Amino acid sequence: MRLKVNLSALPCLVPMPASVTAMRESLKIACVGEAMIELSLDPAGSNAKLGFAGDVLNTAIYLRRALAPDHQVDFVSAVGSDALSERMLAFIESEGVSTKNVRRHGHRLPGLYAISNDAGGERSFSYWRENSAARLLFQLDGTVSFDVLERYDVIYLSAITLAILPPDVRMGLIAWIAEFRKRGGRFAFDSNFRPRLWEDRKAARDSVSAAWAVCDIGLPSVDDEMALFGDADESAALARLRSYGIGEAVVKRGARGPIALYSDGFSQPAFAPVPKVVDTTAAGDSFNGAFMAARLQGASFEEAMAAGHECASQVIRYRGAILPR
């Protein structure tokens, strides 16, 4: 079965399938992570375009573009008090994502990264983020508090979010999310694995496993999962993911397209590869945003997979993480 989504609108303003009905009440969604200054290098590596991005921020923007306007998407983070931080916040707000719960730090700055691409569009990154303000998220005056997340219906974050936090804050956040779910909240997670961000592989495995164990909407990439856990093959990775009891999950597999983690009573759609890939930056992040928007607004799992795949297919045809409107 091949599903199609009408994408005649602006880039990644993905129209929801016709089966989607209006939600009875609006949702408040918190996307928790790090926003960074992005330098996108030209093919010669001699010039760079300035932008703002970050895995969770990318997802927040594509989620906001695909949601009905009565739903609320907030970015939760920490930035500096410098001019580039202010430009970053203005950019986020211009996309309709609220920054009311982004804390300004008086002495630290945002992280920075540069993107370069090979001939096939695959990207490589150089980072300067060790002392970014976002590493102090949830920490103020020697105390740790997650109260800023209290009034949301859905919380989304990634393993990159977890990796930049100190171990005690990281595990405290996961424990807080477990209680949040008992009160009716929902938790969405992507296990983006960046080895250099973690103190060691065991800490990464323990943290990601703990996050999967409290997850309602799982958005893993099979490559990240296999790299982190050393699964023998894709089938082993899928079997391990099922063992966590994730509420529902779709596994991203690059050019092969996504696959549902649970197949009972489910007809797996077929997805055509993109003929010309320019830049794979934010492919998974954009998929996450469009997929979640569809599911949270009542689309079927198949329709949500198609929406996510189509959005990601647009993003990788252009340079940079965020498609201009």
CATH code of 194's domain:
3.40.1190.20
H helix intervals, 72-132 = 83-94
Span 304-311, mean pLDDT? 95
**pLDDT beyond 50 at 303:** yes
Dihedral, CA of residue 138, residue 155, residue 57 and residue 322, to nearest 10: 180
Residue 308 inside a domain? The answer is: yes
Residue 84 inside a domain? The answer is: yes
Residue 70 inside a domain? The answer is: yes
**What pLDDT score does 119 carry?**
67
Burial code of 250-266, b = ≥16 C-beta within 10 A, e = fewer?
bbbebeebbbbbeeeee
* pLDDT tens per residue across span 195-224: 999 999 999 999 999 999 999 999 999 999
Question: Could you list the residue range(s) of the whole structural domain that residue 215 is in?
Answer: 28-33+54-102+139-315
Residue 45 inside a domain? The answer is: no
From the candidates 74, 190, 279, 285, give the one annotated as an active-site residue. 285
**What pLDDT score does 123 carry?**
66
Span 150-177, mean pLDDT? 98
Q: Do 202 and 169 meet the contact criterion of CB atoms below 8 Å apart?
A: no
Residue 190 falls in the annotated catalytic set? no
Residue 98 inside a domain? The answer is: yes
Residue 268 inside a domain? The answer is: yes
Banded pLDDT at 124 (limits 50, 70, 90): confident
Residue 208 inside a domain? The answer is: yes
Q: Do 292 and 305 meet the contact criterion of CB atoms below 8 Å apart?
A: no
Q: Do 121 and 317 meet the contact criterion of CB atoms below 8 Å apart?
A: no
Neighbours of 203 (CB within 10 A): 15
Q: Rounded distance, CA 52 to CA 65, Å?
A: 17
**pLDDT beyond 70 at 8:** no
Q: Rounded distance, CA 25 to CA 28, Å?
A: 10
**pLDDT beyond 70 at 14:** no
Percent of the chain with pLDDT over 70: 90
Task: Give the distance between the most distant pair of CA atoms in the chain.
Answer: 55
Span 233-237, mean pLDDT? 97
Span 145-150, mean pLDDT? 97
Mean predicted lDDT score pLDDT of the chain: 90
Q: Do 5 and 306 meet the contact criterion of CB atoms below 8 Å apart?
A: yes
**pLDDT beyond 70 at 73:** yes
**pLDDT beyond 90 at 151:** yes
- The C-alpha angle with vertex 125 and arms to 85 and 108, in degrees rounded to 5, equals 30
Q: Do 7 and 82 meet the contact criterion of CB atoms below 8 Å apart?
A: no
Q: Per the structure, how many domains does the chain have?
A: 1
**pLDDT beyond 90 at 88:** yes
Banded pLDDT at 261 (limits 50, 70, 90): very high
Residue 112 inside a domain? The answer is: no
Token duo for residue 230:
């050393």
**What pLDDT score does 6 carry?**
39
Beta strands in the chain (DSSP E): 28-32, 36-41, 48-53, 72-79, 102-104, 111-117, 123-128, 139-140, 143-144, 154-158, 186-190, 217-218, 248-251, 259-260
